[in-house]
Copies of this chain bind each other. A is one copy, B any other.
């Protein structure tokens, strides 16, 4: 059994990690930490888990966690992660970091949107954990920068087409919608029920920090620097993320090529469900799962390609993908712990 620690276990991504790892056939949850709730039984914070998680929250001591663990999940705010990673790697552990700290190849891109990177020497060894695209590198990695939820939802439908030059990456417009759990467990005006209910709105227009993460990965696949337009919106629901991505098709590309490209890239990927042309994925159909459902259509009027994806922002967009990365790193079945039967509603 792998021994796994979750650092930052009481945030929403951390709680999903605790849920998934508690049910993982090859994992024993060794340590769960929370600065805020140290000493408190975990099921006092998440009563749903009573009877399933019997650990108390420990303080965030990476050295103590390292002694009891083979793999560590960091579900911390940006910046807190990079302070812990070197010691954990030195102790011989593998690390899946859910913050943005190790998602970037470009130090400049990171620092221009986040802060000074204090572990820049580790950025090169970190692998961007978008499993369906970089699975081979993930399998060999010691340190994973687990992708953001928006980048996951935008990149999965898009990257195969960029790689195969079927679309013009400079024309990408990503209109994305997230459930409220994406805003985290903290009680704020943004997450107040009365501000969310019957509300739909864009936010951080032109300024969301997931933009450079998306751009770096499209640029890498395109082989040249690409800027995109990305606008996130908030949906009155707890879980789920839908992205509608608009892109101009390359001259000569047609529907059958688009379909062929997506099918050939994703045929053997257990967590991608490709829909027939013209069908729209629905967040309800992926709720609680690690799936990314992908739909697509060619707009008859404008000729633009419309790509749509639906994920559970906390699972494929965070904790589920993190565990999928762990599975690949340790040579486990990619779906281990992640393939429970979905709820029909």
Which of A's residues lie within 8 Å of B, judged by CB? Answer: 12, 15-16, 18-20, 22-23, 46-52, 173, 175, 177, 179-181, 185, 187-189, 191-203, 205-207, 211, 215, 227-229, 231, 233, 235-240, 242, 244, 246, 273, 278, 280-289, 293, 295, 297-302, 304, 306, 308, 310, 340-345
Contact = CB atoms under 8 A, between A and B. Distances in A.
Given A229-B302, A242-B200, A273-B50, A288 B193 contact: no
List the 3 closest A-B pairs by CB distance, nearest first. A199-B284, A15-B344, A175-B175
Q: Which of A227, A246, A343: most chain B Cβ within 10 A?
A: A343
Given A236-B236, A246-B173, A192 B192 contact: yes
A279 B52 CA distance: 20
B229 A244 contact: no
A287 B48 contact: yes
A12 B345 contact: yes
A288 B341 CA distance: 12
Contact of A345 (B181, B273, B301, B344): B181
A233 B199 contact: no
A231 B306 contact: yes
Contact of A283 (B201, B227, B229): B201
A52 B271 CA distance: 12
A283 B200 contact: yes
B240 A198 contact: yes
A199 B237 contact: yes
29 contacts: A15-B344, A23-B341, A47-B282, A48-B286, A49-B344, A50-B285, A175-B244, A177-B200, A180-B194, A180-B197, A187-B187, A187-B188, A193-B197, A194-B238, A195-B345, A198-B239, A198-B240, A199-B283, A200-B240, A200-B282, A201-B282, A201-B283, A206-B298, A215-B301, A229-B299, A231-B244, A239-B345, A246-B246, A288-B288
